[in-house]
Amino acid sequence: MEYKDYYKRLGVSRDASQDEIKRAYRKLARKYHPDVSKEENAEAQFKEVQEAYEVLKDPERREAYDQLGQNWREGQQFRQPPGRDQGGFDFRGGFTGGDAGAFSDFFESLFGGGFRAAGGAGGSRQPRGQDQFARIDISLEDAYSGATRQITLENPEVDAQGQVQVKRRSLNVRIPAGMKQGQQIRLAGQGAMGGDLYLEANIQPHRWFHLDGRDVSLTVPIAPWEAALGAKVAVPTLDGEVSATIPAGAQSGQRLRLKGRGLPGKPAAGDQYLILKIVTPAADTDAAKQLYRQMAETLAFDPRAGAWS
């Protein structure tokens, strides 16, 4: 396992006071808290910060950690110094609770294991019989058509000796068609110790469709003559290709609506919007240059007429 530099993680020196540690933690907790953070990997970062604080806020644990010495570097291969049993310190219990779970192997080897919490998919440790929450990543296509997905949950269970053990469990879950971003499904009785399991859909960004509620939008490049004269162009929808009519006189940035082509749902399915983008051909041949010159002479067009008046 890898050594973790908890001081570095909180950005404090090894001789920082407990107050300094607390201040550093609070600042980082606000920065990375998954409910308010805009940082990437906020959830993972937040866990790292929490783990560091879990150790450094407690003078006893901090001392045990300091005893490892100063020569370790972040990420260095680590094993217990001789003469110390695995989990020799009895630090069980007294954790901050809730999402404190899923701390690193490094943490668990120092302070005792058995506290890895539920929810490989971002869930949280829950007391007996309570509901469990997890986030599930689904593609936009799956949100549109529905899908069956296997999810793995880690549930803490108390065994006959009174120890908390992690039990892994896989479920095949039907994702209904038309799930929106952030929408939840409830799986009755599938939570920790008999509670319900809630899965929140996290729809992954799509290569070319953008999702807004139930509506999807798509940027459609068109030629100047398609914009000017109107055209029928083939465009992808979540249900396959359709032929869309570009009206004559279309402009860049204009939006066309394909009714009912967004995510299905009640009372009405979403729509698909086509955002038109006029692309001009390169004038890289004599013939092309000639055509542009001819347009310039014939059309007497001033694109900036009235633009700044």
Partner 1 sequence: MTENFIIEGSLIDRDTLYTLHELCRSSGVHAEVIVEMVEVGLLEPQGRDPAEWRFPSYALARIQSTLRLRRDLEVNLEGAALALELMDEVRRLRARVAMLERQLEAL
List of residues contacting partner 1 (CB under 8 A): 26, 29-30, 33-36, 38, 46, 50, 96-99, 126-127, 130-131, 133, 148, 150, 168-174, 176, 179, 182-188, 190, 195-196, 198-200, 210, 212, 217, 219, 252-253, 255, 266, 275-277
Residue 35 vs 286, nearer CB to partner 1: 35
In the bound complex, what is the minimum distance in angstroms from residue 3's beta carbon to partner 1?
Answer: 25
C-alpha distances in angstroms, 157 versus 122, 127, 154, 164? 18, 10, 10, 5
Based on C-alpha coordinates, what's the Rg of the chain? 29
Bridge partners, 219 (sequence order): 275
Q: Label residues 186-202 b or e (16+ Cβ within 10 Å = b).
A: ebeebbbeebbbbbbbe
For residues 137 and 117, give the distance between their C-alpha atoms in angstroms, rounded to a whole number. Answer: 20
What single letter denotes the amino acid at residue 176? P
Q: Label residues 63-76 b or e (16+ Cβ within 10 Å = b).
A: ebbeeeeeeeeeee
Residue 79 vs 255, nearer CB to partner 1: 255
In the bound complex, what is the minimum distance in angstroms from residue 202's beta carbon to partner 1?
Answer: 12
C-alpha distances in angstroms, 270 versus 216, 235, 262? 7, 17, 4
In the bound complex, what is the minimum distance in angstroms from residue 81's beta carbon to partner 1?
Answer: 32
In the bound complex, what is the minimum distance in angstroms from residue 14's beta carbon to partner 1?
Answer: 25
In the bound complex, what is the minimum distance in angstroms from residue 143's beta carbon to partner 1?
Answer: 12
In the bound complex, what is the minimum distance in angstroms from residue 274's beta carbon to partner 1?
Answer: 10
Query: Which of 156, 21, 182, 26 lies closest to 99 in space, CA to CA?
Result: 156
Residue identified by tokens 């803490």 is 156
In the bound complex, what is the minimum distance in angstroms from residue 246's beta carbon to partner 1?
Answer: 13
Residue 80 vs 181, nearer CB to partner 1: 181
Three-state SS string over 279-300 comes to: CCCCCCCHHHHHHHHHHHHHHC
Residue 66 vs 131, nearer CB to partner 1: 131
DSSP string, 105-120: HHHHHHH-SS---S-T
Residue 110 vs 197, nearer CB to partner 1: 197
Residue 167 vs 293, nearer CB to partner 1: 167
In the bound complex, what is the minimum distance in angstroms from residue 92's beta carbon to partner 1?
Answer: 20
Residue 71 vs 170, nearer CB to partner 1: 170
Strands 197-203 and 132-138, bridge-based pairing: parallel
For residues 107 and 1, give the distance between their C-alpha atoms in angstroms, rounded to a whole number. Answer: 10
In the bound complex, what is the minimum distance in angstroms from residue 187's beta carbon to partner 1?
Answer: 4
Residue 37 vs 139, nearer CB to partner 1: 37
Residue 186 vs 257, nearer CB to partner 1: 186
Three-state SS string over 201-244 comes to: EEECCCCCCEEECCEEEEEEEECHHHHHHCEEEEEEECCEEEEE
